[in-house]
Amino acid sequence: MTPSRWSDLDRPPLNAAALRRAVVTPEALWTSLDVVESTGSTNSDLVTRAAQGAPEGTVLVAEEQTAGRGRLDRRWTAPARSGLFFSILLRPGERVESGSAAGAQPVPAHHWGWLPLLAGVATATALSRAAGVDTSLKWPNDLLVPVDGEERKAGGILAERAVGTAVVVGIGLNVSLKAEELPVPTAASLALAGALGTDRDPLLRAVLRSLDQWYATWRAAGGDPAKSLLQQTYAAGCATLGRQVRAELPGGEQLAGTAVAVDGDGRLVIAGPSGERAVAAGDVVHLRPAEGWAGA
C-alpha cells in the first residue's frame, strides 16, 4: 500500500479540537478555529469568509497550502504538515464588544498598516519563548532565525484588506523542514535553527496567544504604535536597523543607505547620500551583517 502523506509520524496532524479548547475562549480574541487538510491559500479563503460576514477572531489553518502567497506575489510552498500556515481575520475599524479587547473603540485606518508588523512582533516573541530560537524581524514582514551563524528566513507575513473593515493577516512558518526540502538555500526552519521542539500544536497556541495579547494592547491604545510600545518593541527586534541596505522600490527605483529607524507609520527610514527617506513598501536587501543579533 502506498503510504499516505498524512501518515508521516514525524509530522503528525494538528489537533483541531484541542486547539479550539485552548484558544477559543470567552475572554480571548479568537472566535473560531478551523483546520483544513489542504487549500490554495488561507488568506484567499479568509478574505472570502470576511466578505460573507465572518467575525473578528476567525482563524483558518491549513496542513498544506498549494498556492500560498508572500509579498510581491511570491509563492510560498512547503511539504504538508512541515510548518504552520494560517490566517486570522481582524476588524480594527469596529468597536470590540467581547474578548480580550472588549470595549476598545475603532482604530483609525491610518494605523492599520501596523498590523503586519504587530504580527511579526507577536510571532517572533512567541517563537523565542516556545521554541527557544532567537527570532528577529527583517523589515517589513520576514521572520529570521540563525542557522550556522547566518540569518535565514524561516517565515513571512502577508496582510490584506478585505471588504469593509476587515484585514486578513496570513503567517507562514517553516517548522520541521530539512535542508534538502528548503525552497532556496537561504531559507530556514525552526528545526534547522535548533528549536527545542517542533510540535506544532504548542507552537501555534503560543503564537495565537501572543497575537491576542499584542492586538488587545494595540487596540486599547487606539492603534498608537508608540503608546502600545509596539513601535519600540519592533525596533528592538528588527535585524534591518543599523545595517547597510538596498531597497528595491515599486517602479524599479533603488535606494541604498543605512536603515536608521522605523517611523510612526511603520515605514523604514533609510539615510543615504541625499539625506533620510522613509520607505513604505519595497524589497529590502541586507548588505552587511548587523552589529549584534537582535532577538525579539
Whether residue 279 contacts residue 270, with contact meaning beta carbons closer than 8 Å, is answered with yes
Contacts of 68 (CB under 8 A, 6+ apart): 40, 41, 42, 75, 76, 77, 78, 85, 170, 172
All CATH 2.30.30 domain ranges of the chain, comma separated, are: 244-286
Write down the pTM of the prediction.
0.92
Output DSSP code: residue 179.
Answer: G
Q: pLDDT tens, position by position, for the chain (296 residues)?
A: 444 544 566 799 999 999 999 999 999 999 999 999 999 999 999 999 999 999 999 999 999 999 755 554 556 678 999 999 999 999 999 999 889 888 999 999 999 999 999 999 999 999 999 999 999 999 999 999 999 999 999 999 999 999 999 999 999 999 999 999 999 989 999 999 999 999 999 999 999 999 999 999 999 999 999 999 999 999 999 999 999 999 999 888 999 999 999 999 999 999 999 999 999 988 999 996 644 333 33
C-alpha cell at 8: 508521516
pLDDT attached to residue 70: 52
pLDDT attached to residue 295: 37
All CATH 3.30.930.10 domain ranges of the chain, comma separated, are: 16-236
C-alpha cell at 116: 503586519
What architecture is the 16-236 domain classified under in CATH? 2-Layer Sandwich (3.30)
Whether residue 279 contacts residue 247, with contact meaning beta carbons closer than 8 Å, is answered with yes
pLDDT attached to residue 282: 87
On whether the 244-286 domain is CATH 2.30.30, my answer is yes
